[in-house]
Structure 1
């Protein structure tokens, strides 16, 4: 059974173990949604055609077709939901939100309709409305297993842990065999430090072949986390290796895609020059203040983003695919021929009008995502691993600043190896320690090549370890570099977090007080890291982590 693509998407949708954001393929809700929808008529042919266009990634044609469907069938419930998800996936979120509101007005605020609306609100980046809808649905009748799990997960992300546990307990009382619910209960128990409850549950899930490989993989990574917290380094490595066995059959095609991405990154880095950047800046004039926060995954980007987001003169966004999926590819790749041609030459061929269109699309999409205008505030876009696309980013917004998060390379590699990532062309490198190390080196070498071509005031590196040791001083330095005055709100960032839902996988970590437990963690794993130490040594020295 494959680990990726449609199989994983179906599990994510049906079981509620879902990333925030819009799953671009979650259309046709009677097949892939936890909640059912009352159907009074067969799907119109135009609706089937719109879905087919979306699945072929012909997004603009799909949206036009959805509009046509709704002109002819304005109250068709499935058309409203599918169109909302599609428009939300293209960051036309206000329109998508209106369509979900219309669906509820048409279908009525029944438990089933509210559950489906809640799932859709979540998919179009409206987490609070999703939570409110699912709460209302649960108040009308006991939710089914998958809907109850999604509600519990949203409550957990909102910091309402007791309410989340109560909902989950009700779900499992009604359906004790619901494996996804058992997994989430164990996952929460690990965060509480209750390994005695979690370990048997996770081991049972990981060992049961009837469960989907995706769920068994998650269980193994959770076991790795639990035994790591208990100080068992060998056990954590064993569980991580066990998890990676499920992804091995899908690795080769993903590695081929990754090699194309690497080739594109090399082409962009070669094409990018200081003279080109200066030309782009002259052509653009000015644009709204923008900072790209990037670096390797597991380097501390979420911590610094959430701290900075408390500043009244700044707004940040969780990781999204607006630039990488919808803005950069049309510029860098021939239509319908991804991975072909020279991305560097295509970047240089993008004229000022094309760049202006990229900017307009980006800032409009970000304001839709935030649900409010930027109104002169700095936009902080946290997107780890966007490093190889920095030249394309600067074609779009040539005055934007680049903030790169650094952390001891050995800690970064270890954390990437031990923790779960959805299997894709990027994370396929994390299936072995050697490939993890080489992926990190590739990304940071790319950054160093680009850094040397940027004006000194346009980039900054910030260390995770400095954030841990002196959060106020480190944040203050970054804020000043951004051109903002200090605000005491920054040190109350956990209060800001309590009012917002975060989509980062490390949402629970950043809600906790800052600690040093993860600093120098690699030393407990020195035996297993020994083979990759020579690979990392140049960057350990370059970034000043040599002892």
Structure 2
């Protein structure tokens, strides 16, 4: 039996002090003289583990075990090395042997729990962590690992409690603070999460994941400016960090800067070609810019790299579903649910497919179970889908309650609260008050002589049927639709830069010089050409962004010759349809979370349109959605003749092209079918709840020719 010789003690001391080369040399000298020294083999193996040479560690510690099988420390160290080498079966055997020899060995129970958890056996893992804590009540790592299991089970309150206990016992356990921040963020406590992440960044400024997650968390709580500044600085400091690039792409994606998001995701993949997470982000950004074929190919590559990622599987399933390849979507959706049976967004997609397939009761029952089990950001989406399912079942009161619950969830969300309620209405009011006939008469009514065909601007209040006409435009071989990309918003920002922004928008439009207008037109064409891509430069842009109706003064100032198509629909149908959708929140869309504020915004915006119609002198044409679905060819001919492109038979089969196009609005599935009128009067099922809406929009019923 070996003893702790003076030489062994010296080697062990060097190892403890981090002088690993010296320690290894001394261990090997001892073993050369005494090959059966089990302690030397054991400590040499532990040293190899410290260096990350897990195979060598296993070999060395196995020799110690072969010499002296009855030492629990040897079996424990062997189990740790095997676990680090992802040899979980042998690791479990070694750790159970350590416990068999010496049952009170708390670290062995802890390590066995980690190994069982890695094998997908969380219940057994939790039992091990609890045993470790009974043996050692101040065991920070046991609290930390128990918290990880609880977090994956969505038992976030319990997870947070355990993370806090781990940090209290060992403040140096930075991974516990990091995971605590993630759990807090997932619980909607973004402010607290940001505090912990700020602490981590201050302690370890080089920790890329902490910086990246701080930026993402700041975005969640409405600190977009600081978030972008932080992530951009982090990328500049460490441009070869693929994770930072990926996080930067996610933030650009979140604020709608899709071209910059694409660049960051691609750089992340260039640095680390097998980084599946970045492929997932790249696929989402490609889908957002309607690059369908590449998006699906990218998601498929993400699945190849991360076949056991429930999130990646879901992304591909969702992409297939959105392009009407539901049969291709099903196996990936099923796999996502095998990997994460409580994955709420995957269960929601399954319910949507069931509704579309006519299994309404099955969809309803699935959604009810989901609503009973979730209390997070997905609840609004689930309640919205429940509303649509109950509506399809003819249960209109239940549908109204579900839609109302969805909007209540949105109003109570942290994302909703980050937007000031009065900002967008104040912008509309400013345009109404400051764009006067006297102001407009000072503007040129003729375009500069740049010999460029102007874009077609397509506007209207959201949910006025614009997606249908957008797909008709897109089917025309001479046209290309913008997919609601904010090209005009870029011009508005540029106006401020050109004029100094002293008077503010929209007065600063009057401060533009002739050269400024020419430069703004050039900027617009540059942006649109980038969107078109090579080979499509001959196409004419249809700039479809419904709420650009608020900014038609910019159109008049920069593109006085441009045709403007204005979509109209029964105001009651519009307001109801806005209320029952789940929009990406922004300064305008927050108003659709309540029927009253929806009607108020409609009245403000459409009153502004009536004002513009009388004072701006824009080249505009109105059409009504109800007329379009009632006389499709007649209305479309008039619109195409008005824009100057003329009729083409391809527009009659717009729905066939739409099946291969990414439509990002809530109407993405409706526009892939031939024209129908079933949506025209849906709002009438809810008239009992729309009395205040009707009163608020009554002047527009008369103005646009609808029965009161």
Q: Same fold (TM over 0.5)?
A: yes
Q: Aligned match of 1:465 in 611, 618, 626?
A: 626
Of 381, 389, 393 in structure 2, the residue corresponding to residue 218 of structure 1 is 381
Listed as ranges, the matches of 1:161-180 within 5 Å are 161-180=326-345
1:193 maps to: 358
In the TM superposition, what whole-angstrom CA distance separates every residue of 1:478-532 from its partner, at most 9, and x where no partner exists? Answer: 1111111321111121222233222222111111222111122233222222233
Structure number with larger C-alpha Rg: 2
SS at match of 2:421: helix
Preserved contact between residue 235 and residue 244 of structure 2 (Cα < 8 Å): no
Asked if residue 321 in structure 1 is aligned to residue 486 in structure 2, the reply is yes
Task: Please tell me whether residue 255 in structure 1 is matched to residue 421 in structure 2.
Answer: yes
Contact 2:235 2:245 in 1 (8 A): no
**Structure 2-normalised TM-score?**
0.63
- Give the Cα separation in 2 of the matches to 1:480 and 1:447: 23
Q: Is the 8 A contact 1:53 1:61 kept in 2?
A: no
Per the alignment, do residues 48 and 232 of structure 1 end up closer, same or farther by CA in structure 2, a change over 3 Å counting?
closer
Change in Cα spacing, 1:231 to 1:147, as seen in structure 2 (3 Å) is: same
* Residue 413 (1) aligns with residue 578 (2): no
Report the counterpart of residue 5 of structure 1 in structure 2: none
Higher relative contact order at CA 8 Å, sep ≥6: structure 1 or structure 2? 1
Judged with a 3 Å threshold, the aligned counterparts in structure 2 of structure 1 residues 276 and 67 are, in CA distance, closer, same or farther, namely: farther
CA distance in 2 between partners of 1:229 and 1:245 (Å):
22
Deviations 1:101-128 (A, max 9, x none): 5543442346555445434544666443
User: Bigger shift: 165-174 or 367-376?
Assistant: 367-376
Counterpart of 2:393 (choices 227, 230, 237) is 230
Aligned pair count reads 503
Distance change in 2, residues 1:314/1:240 (3 Å): same
Residues 257-336 of structure 1 aligned to structure 2 (within 5 Å): 257-270=423-436, 273-277=439-443, 279=444, 281-283=446-448, 286-324=451-489, 326-331=490-495
d(CA) in 1 for partners of 2:212, 2:392: 50
Q: Matches of 2:228 and 2:401 in 1, distance apart?
A: 46
Q: Within 2, Cα distance between the matches of 1:211 and 1:92?
A: 30
Distance 1:360 1:63 in 2: 31
Q: Does the residue aligned with 1:297 lie in a helix, a strand or coil?
A: coil
> Which region of structure 1 is more displaced relative to structure 2, 537-546 or 447-456?
447-456
Identify which of 225, 228, 242 aligns with 2:405. 242
**1:537: which partner in 2?**
698
2:669 partner SS: helix
Query: Which of 378, 387, 398 is matched with 2:540 structurally?
Result: 378
**In structure 2, what is the Cα distance between the partners aligned to 1:147 and 1:447?**
44
Contact 2:459 2:548 in 1 (8 A): yes
For residues 43 and 530 of structure 1, the distance between their equivalents in structure 2, rounded to whole angstroms, comes to: 54
Shift of 1:301: 0.2
* TM-score, reference length from structure 1: 0.80
Deviations along 1:203-232, one digit per CA (max 9) or x if unpaired, are 233333x531x3111111111111122223
Is there any run of 5+ residues in structure 1 with no aligned partner, and where?
2-9, 15-30, 32-40
Distance 1:364 1:86, change over 3 A: farther
CA pair 541-263 structure 1, distance change in 2 beyond 3 A: closer
Deviation at 1:330, TM superposition (A): 4.6
Q: Is the 8 A contact 1:288 1:376 kept in 2?
A: no
When structure 1 is superposed on structure 2, of 258-267 and 145-154 the one drifting more is 258-267
Deviations 1:372-404, CA, capped at 9 Å, x for gaps:
365343210111122111102332322221111
1:477 paired residue number: 638
Decide whether aligned partners of structure 1 residues 143 and 51 sit closer, same or farther in structure 2, where only a CA change above 3 A counts: closer
Q: Distance in 2 between matches of 1:346 and 1:274?
A: 12
> For the structure 1 residues 52 and 299, does the alpha-carbon distance in structure 2 shift closer, same or farther, using more than 3 Å as the test?
closer
Structure 2 unaligned blocks of 5 or more: 1-155, 157-181, 187-196, 198-205
Give the deviation of 1:424 after TM superposition. Answer: 3.4
The alignment's C-alpha RMSD in Å is 3.9
The alpha carbon displacement at 1:253 in A equals 5.4
Matching of residue 344 in structure 1 with residue 506 in structure 2: yes
CA shift for structure 1 position 187: 2.4
